[in-house]
Structure 1
């Protein structure tokens, strides 16, 4: 029979996850569980009762993060009327999600063979594949571009963004960052945004077929 947590245990677990999300966002895997416990307002022993290792806690945070990313992609982009806008909007949003979260940057920077087996990353990659398929069907995407190419482009672009600067790069106040149709040119010009513009331009079919991997 599944054991039900007491109300105080549920609150503690929620507080630990929230605190861990904040610490992993800014410090990545180097985050200290003692700092997480202190931020959550619980004893270190309480933290370990819920999450025996730091990796267990990090995995929970990553699952929540990837689920939110996947849901955002499905709700905002997969059914968007314009395939090209959907793809570029997904890329823009994804770069920002990764560049503002140190632990996410670290996770996606793993070697391909390891990341390929990552269930969380696979779910997000599936969204990219759907967007790519729609663009190819509409003949607005360079021939040969795959969903994996899009994920790799996102990883490369986010690696250029300074985690301390990303939050200062905002769209116009009247256009939310994840709103379909956001024009990348409306962003503040910074080195990583320029590379984003260059990278997205390279996806256009005018450049000819992309050589197979």
Structure 2
């Protein structure tokens, strides 16, 4: 084996290691953001991921890059869950309810994200549009399936529903007695209209 052959053989392993490190960083950052918010120290995220601080900065040059990557990753997971829940074979209303539960969990665990989005950092400018572009169509698909099965009233607007869920989740950070999940459950039950 020549030196070039051994370098080529080692290169895919590095890419796999880099992918594992990036995934470990995303998972560690997501967990840290839930418990401590988006301003958690980078060294804490690195420790959770089992990597050095330099590894974080190689993958995500700024904190904003890391925050955006974590939330894009989570938005993708939420978007992919909708069709999977519909395909499970249960009722479309059950799929919708379960997806809204996932969406609610996504929202109530985003400590500090709203402030970050309003910080003026250009890295965050496209995050909200990405969020809507990915999740509104999934919600619409679930609503349409539930309406077609005559499980909810027809004509529900996906954007309005997601906005309503979002508004119900706002108080979760500031009042320990406020149960956003319970409020969202009441909203989703009201879609049935029967």
Q: TM-score, normalised by structure 1?
A: 0.64
Residues 98-117 of structure 1: pairs in structure 2 closer than 5 A = 98-102=107-111
Question: Cα deviation per residue 1:24-77 (whole Å; 9 max; x = unaligned)?
Answer: 222332222232234334443332122111111122212221222122221113
Residues 1-213 of structure 1: pairs in structure 2 closer than 5 A = 5=14, 9-77=18-86, 80-102=89-111, 118-161=129-172, 191-205=179-193
Higher helix residue share? 2
Structure 1 199/48 Cα, relative in aligned 2: closer, same or farther at 3 Å?
same
Structure 1 104/150 Cα, relative in aligned 2: closer, same or farther at 3 Å?
farther
SS at match of 1:29: coil
Specify every segment of 5 or more residues in structure 2 that has no aligned partner in the other structure, as ranges: 1-10, 120-124
Counterpart CA distance in 1 for 2:180 and 2:20 is 40
Counterpart CA distance in 2 for 1:196 and 1:81 is 21
134-143 or 85-94, which deviates more: 134-143
Shift of 1:93: 3.0
Please tell me whether Structure 1 or Structure 2 has the larger radius of gyration of its CA atoms: 2
Is the contact made by 1:157 and 1:195 (CA closer than 8 Å) also made in structure 2?
Answer: yes
Question: Cα deviation per residue 1:74-104 (whole Å; 9 max; x = unaligned)?
Answer: 1113664423222223222321333234366
Aligned length: 179
Shift of 1:129: 0.6
56-65 or 100-109, which deviates more: 100-109
